[in-house]
Structure 1
Amino acid sequence: MSTDFSVHQYLLTNRNHFESISQYIWEHPETRYLEFESASFLANELEKEGFSVQYGVGGIETAFIASYGSGKPVIGFLGEFDALSGLSQKANSTKQEPIKLGGIGHGCGHNLLGTGALAAAFAVKAFLIDNNTNGTVKFYGCPAEEGGSGKTFMVREGIFDDLDIALTWHPSYANSIMSLSSLANYQVYFRFKGVASHAANSPHLGRSALDAVELMNVGVNYLREHVVQEARMHYAITNSGGFSPNVVQSEAEVLYLIRAPKVAQVDDIYKRICKIAQGAALMTETEMTIIFDKACSNYEPNRRLELILNEKLHEAGAIQPTEEEQQFAKDIWKTLSEGEKENSLAGMKSFGYSGDSSEFKGKYLSDIISEYIPSAEVMAGSTDVSDVSWVVPTAQLTTATSAIGTPLHTWQMVTQGISSFAHSGMLLSSEAMANTAIHLFTHPEDLQAIKAEHTEKRKKEPYICPIPKDVKPSAVK
């Protein structure tokens, strides 16, 4: 077997191409299940590279699988490319400047995430050719991570069943293995229907759906004291019944996102919330309909796979920022609130960082790789990568692509999304993931140990998809 192939050199040689892919996705932001342009662009790049592409997998128009090679093992890279509403922002700016007021923006760095996974898949394909090695590399085009649980729907349809290993990453301001579990969640609409009437002349004839929504929200707010400490119950009123206060609102709707460390805990809280909604409907004499939107499980780390990924991340080494990159990061740091600055260490730790941040004194970009310390803690967030981790051994890492303290889902995250430092961090993740895959192609004993760990976990707790079979993926309303 050839020892000449270098993932690092391959990525360096093709850096400009991968940067252009990331920039294209950043410039064409699309929300959940509407990522037609982004998905098509990525799939086309994979086809040009010699991958065979299967479109519309799992009954989702913007989901696809790109494959190269044959035989075992089959190693997959998970790529995301959806963006967020309301986060339109000019690139490389130190002030909030929307490109389009109220428009869409890549506030979670998925232009980097998808491109970084794609670059890893390309590098592994080049290795397989260079070494004439059997095995299959796959890139999974996974839509709707933001509020749509695209991967959970894909898991439900068996899309990942032939995989031996799944690898992915996420942009942040740390360099570490994402060793924490995550919060499972349900997302559910509660829709109320009442009777319209003149609010002054005949209010007694009306039955207010908006009253029902408000009473439900009050009831849920009282419930907060009586759930597990880690639980979260978020809501948004998606239909307040119109803009006429002199009309008794006959229709109203509220969308709930319910989170807890385990699906069973989420389900218990959900059932209690349903009772509160029923009570609100009884109090207001309105009709109530429940529409289950989506769900995802908690993340299940594979420690043996994480050890290898960590080794490859350390071998690659952290990006050392230039003076210009440090200055830009410092300027971004100045735009953060005091609360955001104080929360920077907690944000790092949620991504698996294990230090006390003292090594960053006087710095604004992470230039070290955190020590890998497996943690039983639960990060205060959710991801649909979780459901993949239940059906196939999965590992994630994060690499620094933004200024320390940059919160996800903010204009500051968007504006740094195609910076030189962001792209360097992106390709660092590609290098670590690709070299992990190559290690497993050449060390079958490690692959078997990873799979054995996964099998043992599933014996203790089998996987049950949290999304009911009759629920279909839906775009943002």
Structure 2
Amino acid sequence: MNRDAVTAIADAIERMKPEFAIISDRIWDFAELKFDETRSSEVLAKTLDDNGFAVRRGVAGMDTAFIGEFGSGKPVIALLGEFDALAGMSQAADVAEHRPLSSGGTGHGCGHNLLGVGSLMAAIALARHLKENGLTGTVRYYGCPGEEGGSGKTFMVRAGLFDDVDTALTWHPAPFNGVRSTNNLAVLEYYYRFKGLAAHASNAAHLGRSALDAVELMNVGVNFLREHMPQDCRVHYAITDTGGRAANVVQAQAEVVYLIRAPEMPQALDLAKRVDKVARGAAMMTETDVEIVFDTASTNLLPNITLETAMHENMVALGPIAFDEADLAFAKAIQDTFTEEAIKSSIRLYQIKGDVFSNAKIDGTTPLHLGLRDFKGQSHFRAGSTDVGDVSWVTPTAQCWTPAWAIGTNPHTWQVVAQGKSPAAHKAMAHAAKALATTGLSLMTSPELLSAAKAEWAEKTDGKPYVCPIPADIEPATHPTVGK
């Protein structure tokens, strides 16, 4: 893409950064859980209103889901934003020690306060550039609630809100800078609710039927199942209801939630059937009843190397992030809370190998990623899940990562929350916005790039229609969970 255009968009976003850093910090303060992000959603939607976007609120049956649109005609470029927090992640900002603000409170343990605002900056900057240069096309910002255990984007896809989108772009905070092509896992979430019969646990235990025993037996059975499922699959659980705290009462009810993951959705569905059989077996052994409640799901991610390569090239053109000594000092203080193995594990997880700008090997001795991860145009396995996967099956999709966190930081930890308001995180957020906006402009000004991305997507989908993993009669959930 034209270097002058890259510079113009980057400069515009840099001027926007102070205002939008305040918005990100407000969302950090709100720390609202999935589908309850009322204030977070509204501050983002109003910002779009104020910048000339036509905003539709409450889409796809979710009060906190919205779409902002600017421009007209083709192509339609979607920017995806998230803004939900996590339960149990309360933590003070800008301190390098575990210091919850409230016991059991919420916090942005995955950096979605940055994610939603970074994509917002990209959408607004791209819209302004189109208007100032007389270019045609449509910019859409998708306000996507409930990524953490709610699969908000999946509901939006099911509602047909991406049917006319040409490509979708997004990003995520991370300990590294660059594009990383991944094959995420499909995920299904089920609640197993056992009903038994209460009784005095000493005088009349023979009259009771323990729902908690059923939960425990189910968990043991699934643990044995792990040996007999494909290696890349994952099954994990949390007991959400033990039936009470009295040990001298046979528990009449108990509940466990399971996340079932596999490289592709059909595999996940097959594995879920086996887990269901274990649950029914546990119910038979304890003479209890089990109710299997489908909660939500997300499809595996479909990478698009064409789009990812274009995004990488724009990140090369943007150059490194201008972190200063204060940024490095705070990142080092955070990094000192990790073990050496945690830092090495982070480097392996994110495959932070070479540096495009210096050819240096990344070994964790520098607390922030100062360069750009090399991108070879290849995908690799990642065991996490995301509802971005459902979007990727209906339109070509790409994402990048920028270093809002010190090397060694893992998602869903207090260290993520502590770094969520830092100047370094704001710089990383703005850098992501630049990468998204310039890639969006590349797609709008290069029909060849857009055509190539669509051709790759068509080849990988092989004419197979997208099948939403969430049945039509399931509505968005509202109960908080730990998240994906």
TM over 0.5: yes
Return the TM-score normalized by structure 2: 0.95
1:103 to partner: Cα distance:
0.5
Change (3 A) 1:236 1:151: same
Match of 1:213 in 2: 215
Residue pairs, 1:43-82, within 5 angstroms: 43-82=45-84
1:339 to partner: Cα distance:
3.5
CA distance in 2: counterparts of 1:135 and 1:2, whole angstroms: 21
CA distance in 2: counterparts of 1:137 and 1:168, whole angstroms: 13
Return the TM-score normalized by structure 1: 0.97
1:197/1:248 contact within 8 Å kept: yes
Match of 2:154 in 1: 152
Match of 2:450 in 1: 447
1:2/1:131 contact within 8 Å kept: no
CA distance in 2: counterparts of 1:377 and 1:369, whole angstroms: 18
The C-alpha deviation readout for 1:215-251, integer Å capped at 9, x for no partner, is 0000000001001111111100011001111111011
Residue pairs, 1:42-441, within 5 angstroms: 42-349=44-351, 353-355=352-354, 358-360=361-363, 362-441=365-444
RMSD: 1.6
2:344/2:364 contact within 8 Å kept: no
Name the aligned partner's letter for residue 148 of structure 1: G
CA distance in 1: counterparts of 2:30 and 2:475, whole angstroms: 25
1:80 to partner: Cα distance:
0.1
1:160/1:391 contact within 8 Å kept: yes
Match of 1:470 in 2: 473
Instruction: Structure 2: give runs of 5+ residues left out of the alignment.
Output: none
CA distance in 2: counterparts of 1:64 and 1:460, whole angstroms: 30
Name the aligned partner's letter for residue 216 of structure 2: E
Name the aligned partner's letter for residue 93 of structure 1: V
1:362 to partner: Cα distance:
2.9
Which shifted more, 5-14 or 146-155?
A: 5-14
1:446 to partner: Cα distance:
1.4
Change (3 A) 1:78 1:328: same
1:274 to partner: Cα distance:
0.4
Name the aligned partner's letter for residue 91 of structure 1: A
1:459 to partner: Cα distance:
2.4
Instruction: Structure 1: give runs of 5+ residues left out of the alignment.
Output: none
1:156/1:465 contact within 8 Å kept: yes
CA distance in 1: counterparts of 2:101 and 2:188, whole angstroms: 33
1:380 to partner: Cα distance:
1.4
CA distance in 2: counterparts of 1:180 and 1:368, whole angstroms: 20
Change (3 A) 1:93 1:199: same
CA distance in 2: counterparts of 1:369 and 1:341, whole angstroms: 18
The C-alpha deviation readout for 1:163-204, integer Å capped at 9, x for no partner, is 111000000011121301101110000000011111111111
1:88/1:102 contact within 8 Å kept: yes
The C-alpha deviation readout for 1:364-397, integer Å capped at 9, x for no partner, is 1001101112334210101110000000010000
Name the aligned partner's letter for residue 259 of structure 2: L
1:180/1:374 contact within 8 Å kept: no
1:2 to partner: Cα distance:
13
CA distance in 2: counterparts of 1:432 and 1:269, whole angstroms: 38
CA distance in 2: counterparts of 1:476 and 1:346, whole angstroms: 34
1:393/1:451 contact within 8 Å kept: yes
Change (3 A) 1:361 1:181: closer
2:344/2:363 contact within 8 Å kept: no
CA distance in 2: counterparts of 1:458 and 1:215, whole angstroms: 40
CA distance in 1: counterparts of 2:401 and 2:438, whole angstroms: 15
Of 452, 459, 469 in structure 2, the residue corresponding to residue 456 of structure 1 is 459
Secondary structure at the aligned position of 2:149 is classed as: helix
1:112/1:423 contact within 8 Å kept: yes
1:3 to partner: Cα distance:
6.0
2:214/2:285 contact within 8 Å kept: yes
1:360 to partner: Cα distance:
4.3
The C-alpha deviation readout for 1:436-455, integer Å capped at 9, x for no partner, is 11111111121112112212
1:86/1:105 contact within 8 Å kept: yes
1:187/1:258 contact within 8 Å kept: yes
CA distance in 2: counterparts of 1:438 and 1:377, whole angstroms: 27
Change (3 A) 1:337 1:476: farther
- Matched pairs, number: 474
CA distance in 2: counterparts of 1:383 and 1:317, whole angstroms: 28
The C-alpha deviation readout for 1:77-111, integer Å capped at 9, x for no partner, is 00000000111111100111111111000010001
Match of 1:9 in 2: 11
1:347/1:405 contact within 8 Å kept: no
CA distance in 1: counterparts of 2:146 and 2:72, whole angstroms: 29
CA distance in 2: counterparts of 1:218 and 1:338, whole angstroms: 33
Which shifted more, 318-327 or 90-99?
A: 318-327
1:321 to partner: Cα distance:
1.9
1:120 to partner: Cα distance:
0.2
Name the aligned partner's letter for residue 34 of structure 2: R
The C-alpha deviation readout for 1:32-60, integer Å capped at 9, x for no partner, is 11111100111011101111110111111
Percent identity, please: 50
The C-alpha deviation readout for 1:383-413, integer Å capped at 9, x for no partner, is 1100000000100000111110011111111
CA distance in 1: counterparts of 2:221 and 2:159, whole angstroms: 36
